[in-house]
């Protein structure tokens, strides 16, 4: 390993601290002058009046004093430089941490009309109603969702925002499992639900992109706004609307669905209407013919809006090394203090 690649593994997080080395050097060189001028008091400079030295030992004492001064100067310089190096925060670089992929915020518009009680799906080989199947798959979707926020809109009559886009995935899953058919009325105000979600997106300043996902059979929509008018409101807000048709689009299973729903009048999902709504906003339309198809539709929607969280270079793992120069500086300061005490003791003996 050459020196260039070796030094490339190390970095100073706060290198500006090293600029203080220059005023430190200037102070250390000017310190004798400042002492002579009387602006600074020399450390341990006082000699007891009872001390008597032989005239022949004067030269040796002067030489010994010069050596001690040089040692003190070097120890002070090195220890101060090590402290500045510690303040510069040296680190050893590691591998780069990959930036996690993220997705746009998503608002789920979930049908809670009476038709969600129809048992025309199978989950783990057992017949299951539309609401239960939707809850299981949305719970799975929210667990793997790579975006930051998920919101919930109840598609009833009238519709309402159950949860504004939230980062609390546990709360999202809890509220999903609390949904029940007819919790907000027997019918579904399709246009109104999309409109109130679009209005919230337009007023929300926390994100640049929010995607609407409508899960409904779109049968006999109620409300003040038509489904097309609601989709146009979403397009004006700059939101992409994806639709997932839930339930059968034919009549082959009408008798089974009707009998399993206690005589409920069955109507096939209006796939054409859902396609028109999605096309108005540049979104896609899916048909959940079975559990696997609905799960795949949610995956495809998330994949379409997946993006990198940050265009800047990904952060790099590093190991802090400031403790080593700091420990060495403290050790040298202790040595310098011990030498000063030894010199004081020798001068008084």
pLDDT by residue (tens digit) across 144-174? 888 788 999 999 989 999 999 898 999 999 9
Non-local (6+) Cβ contacts of 346 within 8 A are none
User: Could you give the CA distance from residue 257 to residue 253 in angstroms, rounded to a whole number?
Assistant: 6
Structure tokens at 37: 């001028």
Q: Which residue's entry shows tokens 């590093």?
A: 318
Structure tokens at 171: 């709360």
Q: Integer distance in angstroms from the first to the last C-alpha of the chain?
A: 55
CB count within 10 Å of CB 58 equals: 10
Burial class (CB in 10 A: 0-12, 13-18, 19+), 302: buried
Q: Are 76 and 28 in contact (CB under 8 A)?
A: yes
Give kind and range of the element (H or E) at residue 55: none
Non-local (6+) Cβ contacts of 321 within 8 A are 10, 90, 91, 92
Query: Quick one: DSSP state of residue 315?
Result: P
Taking only the tens of pLDDT, the chain with its 349 residues reads 566 666 778 888 888 988 988 888 888 788 777 777 777 665 555 444 455 555 554 455 554 555 566 667 788 888 888 898 889 888 988 776 655 546 688 999 999 999 899 888 888 888 888 999 899 989 999 988 887 889 999 999 899 999 998 989 999 999 999 999 999 888 999 999 999 999 998 886 555 678 999 999 888 888 899 999 999 999 998 889 999 998 865 544 444 443 344 334 456 788 999 999 999 999 999 998 888 888 899 889 888 887 654 555 556 777 888 888 889 888 888 887 787 777 666 666 6
What pLDDT was estimated at residue 232?
94
| Chain center to CA of 141 | 19
Top CATH class, 101-308: alpha beta
Q: Are 185 and 159 in contact (CB under 8 A)?
A: no
User: Could you give the CA distance from residue 31 to residue 39 in angstroms, rounded to a whole number?
Assistant: 9
What pLDDT was estimated at residue 254?
42
Tell which residue, 63, 221, 215, has the closest CA to residue 154: 215
User: Could you give the CA distance from residue 323 to residue 90 in angstroms, rounded to a whole number?
Assistant: 9
pTM (whole model) above 0.75: no
Structure tokens at 73: 């100067």
Query: Quick one: DSSP state of residue 209?
Result: -
Alpha carbon distances (Å) from 214 to 187, 197, 321: 15, 11, 53
Q: Are 245 and 217 in contact (CB under 8 A)?
A: yes
Residue spans of the domains in the chain: they are 3-96+315-348, 101-308
In the sheet that 160-166 helps form, which strands lie side by side, from edge to edge?
160-166, 150-155, 105-111, 210-216, 240-246, 285-288
What pLDDT was estimated at residue 99?
54
Please, what is the average pLDDT of the chain?
79
What pLDDT was estimated at residue 123?
80
Give kind and range of the element (H or E) at residue 285: strand 285-288
pLDDT tens digits along 104-134? 889 999 999 998 998 888 888 888 889 998 9
Structure tokens at 286: 């899916």
């Amino acid at each position: 390993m050459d020196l260039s690649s070796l030094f490339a593994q190390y970095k100073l997080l706060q290198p500006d601290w090293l600029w203080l080395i220059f005023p430190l050097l200037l102070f250390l060189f000017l310190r004798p002058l400042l002492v002579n001028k009387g602006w600074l008091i020399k450390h341990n400079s006082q000699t007891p009046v009872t001390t008597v030295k032989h005239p022949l030992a004067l030269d040796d004492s002067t030489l010994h004093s010069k050596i001690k001064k040089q040692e003190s100067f070097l120890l002070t310089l090195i220890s101060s430089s090590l402290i500045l190096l510690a303040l510069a925060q040296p680190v050893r670089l590691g591998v780069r941490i990959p930036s996690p992929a993220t997705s746009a915020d998503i608002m789920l518009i979930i049908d809670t009309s009476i038709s969600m009680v129809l048992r025309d799906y199978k989950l783990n080989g057992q017949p299951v109603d539309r609401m239960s199947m939707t809850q299981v798959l949305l719970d799975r979707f929210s667990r793997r969702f790579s975006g930051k926020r998920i919101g919930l809109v109840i598609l009833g009559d009238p519709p309402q925002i159950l949860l504004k886009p939230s980062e609390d995935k546990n709360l999202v899953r809890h509220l999903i499992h609390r949904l029940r058919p007819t919790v907000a009325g027997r019918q579904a105000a399709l246009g109104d639900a999309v409109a109130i979600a679009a209005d919230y997106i337009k007023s929300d300043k926390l994100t640049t992109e929010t995607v609407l996902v409508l899960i409904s059979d779109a049968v006999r929509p109620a409300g003040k706004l038509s489904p097309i008018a609601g989709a146009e409101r979403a397009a004006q807000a700059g939101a992409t609307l994806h639709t997932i048709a839930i339930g059968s689009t034919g009549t082959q299973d009408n008798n089974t669905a009707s009998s399993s729903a206690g005589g409920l009048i069955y109507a096939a999902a209006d796939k054409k209407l859902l396609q028109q709504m999605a096309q108005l906003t540049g979104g896609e339309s899916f048909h959940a013919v079975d559990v696997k198809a609905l799960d795949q539709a949610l995956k495809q929607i998330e994949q379409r809006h997946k993006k990198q969280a940050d265009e800047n270079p990904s952060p790099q793992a590093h190991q802090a090394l400031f403790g080593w120069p700091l420990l060495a500086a403290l050790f040298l300061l202790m040595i310098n203090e011990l030498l000063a005490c030894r010199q004081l003791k020798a001068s008084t003996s």
